[in-house]
Amino acid sequence: MEINIFNDRDLSWLSFNKRVLDETLLDDLKIYDKIKFLAIHSSNLDEFARVRLAALESMVGESSPEDRQTNLKALYDARREVYNQSLASRKILEQVVLPELRNHNINLYYGDSVYLDKHYEEILHIFMSKVLSYLQPVIITSHTNVFLEDRMLYFLLHVDAGRRLNDLKIVLNIPANSLPRFFTLSKVEDKNYIVFLDDIIRLGIQSLFKNYEFKGIYAIKINRNADLHVDDDTDDEEDFVEVLQRGLDLRKTGAPSRFQYDATMPENLIQFCHQQFQLEEGEMLPVGHYLSSSDFFRFPNPNGSSLVQSAWTPLKHPSLLLYGNYFNAIGSQDYLLNFPYQSYDYVLVFFNLAVLDQDVTEIMATFYRVAQDSHIVNALISAAKNGKKVKAFVELKARFDEANNLHWANQMAKAGVEITYSIPGIKVHAKAALIKRRENGKEKKYAFFGTGNFNEKTAALYSDMGLFTSNPDLCNELESMFQYLYKRQQPEPFKHLLVSQFGSLEKFVELIDNEIAAARQGLPSGIIIKVNNLEEEEVINKLYEASQAGVPIQLCVRSICRIKPGVPGLGENITLIRVVGRYLEHSRVFIFHNKGQQAIYLGSADWMKRNLRSRVEVVFPVYDEAIKKQVLDFIAIQFTPATKTQLLSSSLETQEWKEGVQQYCSQEAFYNHLKRQQVQ
């Protein structure tokens, strides 16, 4: 029987999301951190439904006869796993989260809970004074076209309006986009009470319309296809912006990809929804009384910090002064920063100094996901207003950040920043900046290369790395890449940077081939890779070849992972781990034994088809020996058997470690490692 040598892309991502949900079951995690992971899991499923379920539906619709069954199975399997995880999330909420909240004197009215008399009146007051004006009921008739907005919450009301009227079916919005999803009620006997907005509306409408019999009040929610199909085959940036704007408008009316409804809804109303909202049967998932657990991000915490894990104060770099002369420091050596373990302020100061320094003549930067209130963009605006030459490449096709990126691009352009937008058919995912400075009558260049976006918000949540350097080889090649972005000027072959579109895939294959050759000659070899996603089949096949040649391969893959480790005759020399903790693992690290002269690269590129073939990514080498050791120390901690380091089987199931497991999280161990360096 032929063995499938690749894991399913979507099921592998869903296994990661299941691991996120499993964080809520850890005894050592405080209750509001469990609630945070519950919300993250729900938010992730929403995005998966809007993007991947929609894509799988499209694949089925466009399938050739020979591929249709395969694509149907992929869609069915993904829907089934989404449904199972939704049920698991509800079970954890009811059996883990709510009881633990009660142990801390925090009571959430839930389901059939009986209101205290005091709270009954209080809820009706909130309904009349704060909620009622936001409600927009729509009676469904044969002439009514009700459109459910993506991710918005609604009730489907089944109402007996009396003898003169037939039963009414009414769609009523739950305005959680305008009001808090949760309201805090008065304390009773030193106990805190919280109520869903949903239940305020349930109680309020029944009290307001006492002459009507409410046969049922059922929560419903739809996810719509959010993938933008933007025709960017134009070099006219104004035309592209117009096309993008139309695409953003069309996204709001995308086809349904998932419809969730209260599991107590009767069959006749399920069929009514099926027809009224033009749904496919497989898109309809019975879940629970309450939908959108992502709203638990804003669940009230009356007890404060005692119910949340203590924050780790961002550390200072042991040798780079936060408010020192960066250009003198970076001019003499490279510096590696690990965010958010170490302060992201170093990056902000780097840009701010470039604005204030009279010898800085030019600033260039790429932007993929811009922060809502970006300090870095504001620094560039200030630089342009002060007469410096500033160029910014802003990727307008960054999914779900298109509008925000366009807003900031417009703000920069108004200030005099030279803005370049998306390249037709390609996304620019590189994270880099270049600063030119006059020194002793000559031009000197300084660069920052990152694994994560220039985004202060995500920098506090994602684990990333950044390199400050004045290495002429790296700076000159970075400028060559910028010339390509700004002028579409074909660069000379890159000898140091690995740039997607310009030989990075071929270089990765060459590096793996070198390890294969060494292993076959009986020489030491080894490959260590840390990425968010591993999906590119050419690379996976090359890793299988390396494993079969005897090359020891260590992989740390966060999300999508199509490789199968440990399979005899295929991947028996491959070890695969996953790390989930307080920070989202986001850095990409590539290490090759290289005959004892370890070749180490960091960068923005995952090993996915899109990253290596249809994006512009920058992967940069680490040349400084001290920084190489820093990276190797980080990797050694990541791969140490620990409580939150998951050893994965070929089917991505958790395996038991053969050796003793350290009773700590690798992220905490790495933070403490950096903290010890800081005080030496």
Catalytic residue set = 429
Q: Three-state SS for 450?
A: strand
Identify whether the C-beta of residue 65 lies closer than 8 Å to the C-beta of residue 239.
Answer: no
State the sign of the Cα–Cα–Cα–Cα dihedral 427, 44, 183, 103: negative
Find out whether 399 is annotated in a ligand binding site: yes
Residue from 386, 408, 388, 384 nearest 396 by CA: 408
Identify whether the C-beta of residue 558 lies closer than 8 Å to the C-beta of residue 19.
Answer: no
- Amino acid (one-letter) located at 136: Q
In sequence order, which residues have a C-beta less than 8 Å from that of residue 172 and are 6 or more positions away? 135, 136, 137, 138, 154, 155, 156, 157, 201, 205
Find out whether 623 is annotated in a ligand binding site: no
Cα(464)–Cα(347) distance, integer angstroms: 12
CA-CA-CA-CA torsion for 305, 310, 311, 313, nearest 10 degrees? 120
Identify whether the C-beta of residue 462 lies closer than 8 Å to the C-beta of residue 452.
Answer: yes
Identify whether the C-beta of residue 431 lies closer than 8 Å to the C-beta of residue 454.
Answer: yes
CA-CA-CA-CA torsion for 84, 37, 397, 388, nearest 10 degrees? -170
CA 533 to chain centre: 12
Residue for token digits 């180490």? 600
Show contacts of 406-410: CB within 8 Å, 24+ apart.
406/241, 406/244, 406/245, 408/367, 408/370, 408/374, 408/377
Find out whether 558 is annotated in a ligand binding site: yes
Identify whether the C-beta of residue 514 lies closer than 8 Å to the C-beta of residue 542.
Answer: no
Find out whether 290 is annotated in a ligand binding site: no
Find out whether 673 is annotated in a ligand binding site: no
Identify whether the C-beta of residue 384 lies closer than 8 Å to the C-beta of residue 416.
Answer: yes
Cα(556)–Cα(644) distance, integer angstroms: 13
Cα(534)–Cα(543) distance, integer angstroms: 11
Find out whether 193 is annotated in a ligand binding site: no
Identify whether the C-beta of residue 277 lies closer than 8 Å to the C-beta of residue 260.
Answer: no
Please give the angle made by the CA atoms of 24, 25 and 27, to the nearest 5 degrees: 110
Q: Residue 633: how many CA atoms within 13 Å on its side-chain side? A: 15
Record the tokens describing residue 566, joined without a space.
Answer: 């440990």
Residue for token digits 């704060």? 130
Burial zone of 590 (CB within 10 Å; 0-12 exposed, 13-18 middle, 19+ buried): buried
Please report, in range form, the residues annotated as the binding site for ATP.
44, 462, 558, 586
Please report, in range form, the residues annotated as the binding site.
44, 369, 399, 462, 558, 586
Please report, in range form, the residues annotated as the binding site for Mg(2+).
369, 399
